[in-house]
A and B are shown apart, each in its own frame.
Chain A
Amino acid sequence: MVTLSTEARNVIFAAKCAGTVVGAIYARAMEVCARHWEVLNPLSHTGLAPRSDTARQMLADATNVAAVRAAKEQAGVAAWLYRASALLGLDLSGSHLGTATRFEQTLYTGDRDQKGILRYLECGASYNVNEFLRVDIPGSHLPLIIAGEAKGGSGGYGWVSGPNDLLANELNVKAINQRDPAYALTRAAYMAKDGGTSAASVARREAGREIRRAFNQGNFMYLAVRGEIDGTTLSVEGEVFECR
């Protein structure tokens, strides 16, 4: 069932990139695929389980506010990756995360494919999206670019200001919520102009450019996920947002 729904979903993605179906239909197809995938692959049976366990242990061991926050952030990232895996029908721990490495002593972890193209970036600093994924979709000339926000704990999605050209002049707003796909666009604007030469800066700039390009081309998806540690389990609550 997962294989069939994934194949159908891929055909819809190609149609979305060609402009013949709206993005919301593709998002629904992904949800169908995710429902089946999650039944077959509960979090504890995926390669993401150690990450979820680490978050739970970090929370159990936490003795100050900073440690609690770090544990919750870790839970949020694990939840985001699990939800993205379900939507893609692909355990990311065996693909994108398998060879991902931290860039020196930075807050950035990333991975490149065999051609050297960035396919995963996790950002731990502000003025970034939390997560960036690039996935090749069979039958489509464009990759699917997913950017997202991972929330740990019960904190709300915040509001940020950003480039005036986009917010004030084009979208007629002063600030944007983290649940809005255009939020990723405002963060990508900061990422794309990173002029540094370190591996982290190069990856950050590449991710920012890819998000903007995908938003412009119509092969972009925004995913916001909340992960909360509840006793011995990690609850995952995610939403896919399409451009309006």
Chain B
Amino acid sequence: MPLIRDYGLNDSAAAEKFVSMALEEFDYIVDVLPGAWAEMEQNRASQRMASVRVSLLEYMSAAYAMQDIKIFQKTCDAFLAHGLTRSRAVVPTRAQLATDLALAISRGHMREARDTCARVLSGPKLADEESAAALCAYALAALVDLDYRRAEISATLLIQQCEAKKFSKFESTLHAHWAHAAEMIARRDDSMLDLHFQNIADTRRLHIDRELARWNKGQPTELSATDFWDWSSTALASIAQSFGYRFNTDGGRKFEFADNNWTEQAG
């Protein structure tokens, strides 16, 4: 049964229809990746590659929600094989590396994860106006590197940015919960992890319900297939689990948007 039916959404049928559209649209996307990569490397032109990367993420997120393991594996592996840390032509931003890093951790590809961590941590010093994705990348990289101090600093900075409402309301709420979870892991305290992960899932569920309702009425919506898989939280859950933290222990409840056991098993 597709995982999406366990998301607890108000209208699961509409959600399935929405992500199925992404599966239908992007069935060609893995095949065009090498061409886009070659063009980026030859011409230092990155817009086409950016578009392909977003399409791949939509495709693999839809596959995650529908638990289509073959598509998920194929797409995720193709994405990582063309990770931006390998590029000789472009210098990826931390926000871009956030995706590559989270995917590598979520799939249990730790050699690729460590390469990406080195790039994230060796970049310029964290600025006050970092994007949420960049701060997530920094926190994840520091945790993989067992640098708890830097992980805590970036998580705290992300919380401050969210409290200052530097992002949209949805993003601020979501990333604040994520940063609290990252901060707990950095402090080696698992007492509230379940709550923070549940808050992340609740925020995402609320966002999808609201945007799906707009979509059902034919109104413009910010909803994307990428809303149906939280790779950043999956990576965080994977790290927490690898540290042996008490986690997801209440039996029946799962963190549906961030099932690291499934993504690692798919590896």
A residues sitting closer than 8 Å to B (CB atoms) are 19, 22, 126-127, 163-166, 168-172, 181-182, 185, 189-190, 192-196, 201, 209, 212-213, 215-218, 243-244
Contact = CB atoms under 8 A, between A and B. Distances in A.
B171 A182 contact: no
A19 B215 contact: no
Contacts of A212: 25, 51, 55
B32 A216 contact: yes
B96 A169 contact: yes
Interface in B1-46: 17-18, 21, 25, 28-29, 32, 35-36, 38-39, 43, 45-46
Contacts of A190: 220-221
A213 B35 CA distance: 13
A204 to B, nearest CB: 11
Q: What does DSSP make chain B's interface, helix, strand, loop or mixed?
A: helix
Given A165-B226, A193-B221, A196-B218, A244 B46 contact: yes
B101 to A, nearest CB: 12
Contact of B47 (A22, A126, A169, A243): A243
Contacts of B104: none
Interface residues of B, number: 42
A182 B52 CA distance: 12
A212 B218 CA distance: 20
Interface string B37-70: 0110001011110111111011000000000000
Contact of A127 (B38, B216, B220): B220
A70 B227 CA distance: 38
A169 B98 contact: yes
A217 B223 contact: no
Contacts of B54: 163, 165-166, 170
Interface of B: 17-18, 21, 25, 28-29, 32, 35-36, 38-39, 43, 45-48, 50-55, 57-58, 93, 95-96, 98-99, 131-133, 171, 215-216, 218, 220-224, 226
B56 to A, nearest CB: 9
Contacts of B216: 195
14 contacts: A163-B54, A163-B222, A168-B132, A170-B53, A171-B50, A193-B21, A193-B215, A193-B223, A195-B17, A196-B218, A215-B48, A216-B55, A218-B32, A244-B47
B21 A165 contact: no
A169 B46 CA distance: 13
Contacts of B218: 194-196, 201
Given A218-B48, A244-B47, A169 B99 contact: yes
A195 B21 CA distance: 9
